[in-house]
Structure 1
């Protein structure tokens, strides 16, 4: 058996942590990459679902999550990164993660946006250490004609969630149990 000195072990651990930091999406230029994806997602929403312009105009802030990747085989998980924009300016970056268990198998990718319709809802989100989508949120569903179902009861909700762009082999996408955490660019 080969003996490993403490110094070698520490050097290997430091190198491993350095590599992990490079791969975790928090390196230099990462904020610009997230912003570019958010810009593309926002443009897609506005071109595909014109009703989102009204939501954007009324919202105190919008959290765009351009790419969520979900996979499951009995136990599932999803992860993605995005940006919170106020007056169409990025103010913070966030990660979203969720886990699930049950009869499920497959993989999919999707995007979503959270529209914070009141200043209090936005403040609660920004103040929280890790925020979860609550029961007070409403889902706005795009129809095949490209319209967003936003009636007066939906637009009066503190948070409106819009899931779109699903592709993959899992039916549906849910944001229940998703935890949002502020990250550094």
Structure 2
């Protein structure tokens, strides 16, 4: 079985698993207007909790915001959410985020995340790929509280910086490594 076929099968099983729990419907039922509003609100939550993110937004070429990602798993798991890419304050396009995982896991949670695309190269890559897998392509740095304290305009050297925030639920840890981000029509 090829790697792409295995990946497709895994994503299909993960989606079925999420759909059976009803969580997928709550993550994907948003209209474009709802996504716009929810994404703007999520950014305000992030900026209040982490002011360095707001500072980064002023120099970012674009910001991908996923205001509600639902993650569930029992050995096999997955996550799904929809979001917006902002260029400045304007909506550029809409994306979904899908992650599949396996291993010791049980539970469900929701969270939000934002990816600040700092270079034109990173924005072009996201726009032109049929599905951007985080960890392949532009370099993404996951910003935690410790790193956030040391970031400044002179230390921002990578293509993209990601913030995970507003976590709720009963599942340990969130990683965006291996997440696939794809353009959707709205």
Is the contact between residue 140 and residue 150 of structure 1 (CA under 8 Å) also seen in structure 2? no
Is the contact between residue 133 and residue 176 of structure 1 (CA under 8 Å) also seen in structure 2? yes
Q: In the alignment, what sits opposite 1:33?
A: 34
Tell me how far apart the structure 2 counterparts of residues 174 and 157 of structure 1 sit (CA, whole Å): 18
Judge which range, 70-79 or 47-56, deviates more. Answer: 47-56
Q: What is the deviation of 1:44? A: 1.0
Q: What is the deviation of 1:155? A: 1.7
Q: In the alignment, what sits opposite 1:137?
A: 140
TM-score (normalised: structure 2)? 0.78
Tell me how far apart the structure 2 counterparts of residues 149 and 128 of structure 1 sit (CA, whole Å): 33
TM-score (normalised: structure 1)? 0.79
Q: In the alignment, what sits opposite 1:115?
A: 116
Question: Which secondary structure does the structure 1 equivalent of 2:51 belong to?
Answer: coil
Q: 1:118-150: CA deviations, max 9, x gaps? A: 11011101110000112621111136xxx9345
Question: Which secondary structure does the structure 1 equivalent of 2:130 belong to?
Answer: coil
Q: What is the deviation of 1:70? A: 0.2
Q: In the superposition, relative to structure 1, how do residues 150 and 66 fare at CA in structure 2: closer, same or farther (>3 Å)? A: farther
Tell me how far apart the structure 2 counterparts of residues 178 and 116 of structure 1 sit (CA, whole Å): 16
Larger relative helix fraction: 2
Give the paired residue count: 159
Question: Which secondary structure does the structure 2 equivalent of 1:148 belong to?
Answer: helix
Unaligned 5+ runs, structure 2: 1-24
Q: In the alignment, what sits opposite 1:72?
A: 73
Q: In the alignment, what sits opposite 1:3?
A: none
Give the aligned CA root-mean-square deviation in angstroms.
Answer: 2.2
Q: What is the deviation of 1:24? A: 9.0
Q: In the alignment, what sits opposite 2:50?
A: 49
Q: In the alignment, what sits opposite 1:184?
A: 185
Tell me how far apart the structure 2 counterparts of residues 156 and 164 of structure 1 sit (CA, whole Å): 22
Q: In the superposition, relative to structure 1, how do residues 150 and 96 fare at CA in structure 2: closer, same or farther (>3 Å)? A: farther
Question: Which secondary structure does the structure 2 equivalent of 1:155 belong to?
Answer: coil
Is the contact between residue 109 and residue 167 of structure 1 (CA under 8 Å) also seen in structure 2? yes
Structure 1 runs of 4+ aligned residues shifted over 4 Å read: 22-26
Tell me how far apart the structure 1 counterparts of residues 127 and 159 of structure 2 sit (CA, whole Å): 14
Is the contact between residue 72 and residue 106 of structure 2 (CA under 8 Å) also seen in structure 1? yes
Tell me how far apart the structure 1 counterparts of residues 91 and 61 of structure 2 sit (CA, whole Å): 13
Q: 1:64-113: CA deviations, max 9, x gaps? A: 00000000000000000000000121110000001001111111110000
Q: What is the deviation of 1:166? A: 1.1
Unaligned 5+ runs, structure 1: 1-21
